[in-house]
Structure 1
């Protein structure tokens, strides 16, 4: 699904959402320059894989948090982790670097990506801001809705602390 398809999906599914269009951003530092309506709900999304390239994980945390992959590995009992390649990102989720998003899992036809989302996104106001599979916008959705969409698609979802 591309950006317009994500917007249509949300509208047709009657999911509350708000869209912030902006210049293309490739990292959290560039996003800091954008005037966001819900900066406390902005997500950082990391696409990682294990050392055998058999298991893929999308980790979404609050934008100001750091993720220690060694600590994540220990806590969730995975093999050694590293960032997935641009080829893996395109082949699995149909995305380019800089556009990593939980909505990319809707392109994961084999549902091989496991989604780990920071439990803090469920606290008030219960929103999360992610790219709509394109880094020229941020779409704000209710965290519970996003979790439900990903689960219904067939990917595993894990709500956890970071």
Structure 2
């Protein structure tokens, strides 16, 4: 098991800046669920997301990012993302170890912390129809928006080639 590289939101923003990625961040009180963050829709533009930290039976891990109200069938998603058998939610301690975040803060931006390449990042294709996409910047007390194409560039800069697949109904 390769441990994560400890990073902060400042490291994330510095990488964005070095890549020429425009980003906007809104500070707010901690939110742990999509329901708690509904008010953000009017406060920061972009497709708002939910992120699922999943593992398969071979202990491979995935972060699946979909639009906040998307429905994901956990009984069949393994056939779409290439997992070995059905998936379940990953353990919080593994999330901390691999991605440097705790439950409620997992996000596609956590790829920054996965120096060992332990996690596969999956983006729902309907999410990728939006011009801007939001996520927590490694903490659930802020929300950051970047352009869709810049999100892909960010992931590739962290050594992750995302899978863009239809995972939500």
Q: TM-score, normalised by structure 1?
A: 0.90
Among 49, 52, 76, the residue aligned to 2:58:
52
Corresponding position of 2:27? 21
Q: Structure 2: state its 5+ residue gaps.
A: 1-6
Range 133-142 or range 106-115, more displaced: 106-115
Number of aligned residue pairs: 159
Q: TM-score, normalised by structure 2?
A: 0.87
TM-aligned CA deviation for residue 70 of structure 1: 1.7
Structure 1 vs Structure 2 CA RMSD: 1.5
Please tell me whether the aligned partners of residues 112 and 155 of structure 1 are also in contact (alpha carbons under 8 angstroms): no
Among 1, 9, 23, the residue aligned to 1:3:
9
Among 135, 138, 141, the residue aligned to 1:136:
141
Q: Distance in 2 between matches of 1:37 and 1:93?
A: 25
Q: Structure 1: state its 5+ residue gaps.
A: none
Corresponding position of 1:36? 43
CA deviation profile, 1:32-83 (whole Å, cap 9, x unmatched): 1334322x50011111111232x11010000011211222112234222110
Q: Distance in 1 between matches of 2:132 and 2:23?
A: 9
Please tell me whether the aligned partners of residues 119 and 159 of structure 1 are also in contact (alpha carbons under 8 angstroms): yes
Corresponding position of 1:64? 69
Among 73, 79, 84, the residue aligned to 2:78:
73
